[in-house]
Amino acid sequence: MSLADSQRSGVVRSPTSVRGRAALVAWAFIVPAFIFYATFVLVPIGMSIYYSLLRWDGIGKAQFKGLSNYLVVLSESDFLQILANAFQLVVYFTVIPVAIGLGVASAIRNHLGGRFGATARTILFIPQVIPLVAAGIAWSWMLASDGVVNQALSLLGLGSITRGWLGDFDFALPAVGLIGAWVLLGLCTMLLVTGIARIDPSLYEAARIDGASAWDEFRWITLPGLRQEIGVCVTVTVIAALASFDIVYIATGGGPGIQTTVPGLEIYRLAFAHRQVGLASALAVVLMLLVILCVLPIQWLTRQPK
């Protein structure tokens, strides 16, 4: 019944009751989604927090241990190194794809519509559609001591530096990082190229007439224009680095030593292989808080100024 109908019928609704009805409609839309969100996100988070206070093997009787699992996670040197490894991966997973993505986007900005632009975008996006496990396996082969990377180095006369990259204490983490960078480059490039297409070309024209250099154009037009896209790229890639699992699991299994062990891998191992559900949950909660702590400032910094 519309407002006009109700007036005709002599029943005049107060603005409050209209607002109430609108709120009811809003709730009708929100509630189903909220039920799913609560069932599959909020309740599991709550359960993880509860489990993190227990000593439990997932099957037998659980013992309440208070915050002792958190103390272990935040005091044992192995756990601290594992958390530090994740932050090192941020350098590779985030800085490299965003930097290269920005470079590529700027370079092909003038050729976006042409065949060259389309081909470049497709090639750069391909890694994104390859499953991470497949990427991990393929790169493990390429980085093996008899893989193509070492063959190429030998061809260039650099045979002395060849090694099993993923088993080397100094190079395993950078090697894993480069696999991640390769995978995420496509996403970043795609987002940034799409973003750059939205920037008004007249701005670049005006800058050129004013004698701006390519760097000036990049610094004062491209970067501010891509603020939101960069925000999305950085957010997604930082989360990918901190919560990484697939690539590490496949490429190195966390080794050598614990050189490439990341929180995601350790949580999985603790919960399912070692049956220490409490400790695994505590590490998961710490990881969740770290992700939030990293992502919130990024969101704040890259928000479009009003």
Partner 1 sequence: MKAKYVVQASVLAIVAGVASTGAYAAPSCGANPVVLNSYFETGFPLPTELSKEFTKQFPNVTFNIKEDLFQTLMENSPRVLAGDNPPDLIRLPSISDLVKDGLLKNLDSYATAFGWDKYPPAQLGQNRVADGGSPRGEGSLYAMGLNYSMTGIFYNKALAAKVGMTKPPETVAEFEDLMAKAKAASIPPIIIWNKPVVGLTFPLQNLMGSYGDPGAVNDWIFQRKDANINTPSNLTASQHLEQWIKSGYFQDDINSVDYATAMSRFIGGQGLFLFDGDWESGNFDKQMAGNVGFFLMPPGTAGGKHAAMSAPLTYGIGANAKNADCAAFFLNWVATNEEARKIDVAVGGSNPGGPVDLPLPAVTPGSVTEQTLNAGTTIAKDNGAMDFIANATGAIYAEAWTPTLQKMVGGREDSATMLKEVQDEYVKELSR
Q: Which stretch binds partner 1 (CB under 8 A): 127-135, 235-243, 247-255, 289-297?
A: 247-255
User: Is residue 305 involved in binding partner 1 (CB under 8 A)?
Assistant: no
Q: Write the interaction track for partner 1 spanning residues 27-66; mark x where CB under 8 A is met and - where it is not.
A: ----------------------------x-xxxx------
Answer for the pair 229, 98: CB distance below 8 angstroms, yes or no: no
In the structure encoding, which two tokens stand for residue 256, read together? 């050598």
Helix (H, G, I), strand (E, B) or coil at 210: coil
Q: Is 145 an interacting residue with respect to partner 1 (CB under 8 A)?
A: yes
The whole-angstrom separation of Cα 97 and Cα 270 is 31
Instruction: Specify the DSSP class assigned to residue 258.
Output: T
Q: Which is nearer to partner 1, 53 or 185 (CB)?
A: 53
| Binding-residue total with partner 1 (CB under 8 A) | 28
The CB-of-175 to partner 1 minimum distance in angstroms stands at 10
Alpha-carbon span 273 to 275, nearest angstrom: 6
* Residue 274 in the binding site for partner 1 (CB under 8 A): yes
Coil, strand or helix at 241: helix
Q: How far is residue 230's CA from residue 223's CA, in Å, rounded to a whole number?
A: 8
- Please report whether residue 272 would count as binding partner 1 according to CB under 8 A: yes
**Smaller CB distance to partner 1: residue 224 or 257?**
257
Strand partners, 63: 55
* Cβ 59 to partner 1 shortest distance, Å: 5
Nearest to 229 by CA among 197, 199, 195, 183: 195
116 is an interface residue for partner 1 by CB under 8 A: no
**Cα–Cα distance, 79 to 71 (Å, whole number):** 11
Residue 281 is a binding residue for partner 1 (CB under 8 A):
no
Cβ(248)–Cβ(262) under 8 Å?
yes
Find the part of the chain contacting partner 1 (CB under 8 A) among 45-53, 231-239, 248-256, 293-301.
248-256
Q: What's the min distance (Å) between Cβ of 198 and partner 1?
A: 45
> Which residues are at the interface with partner 1 (CB under 8 A)?
55, 57-60, 143-145, 163-169, 252-258, 269, 272-276
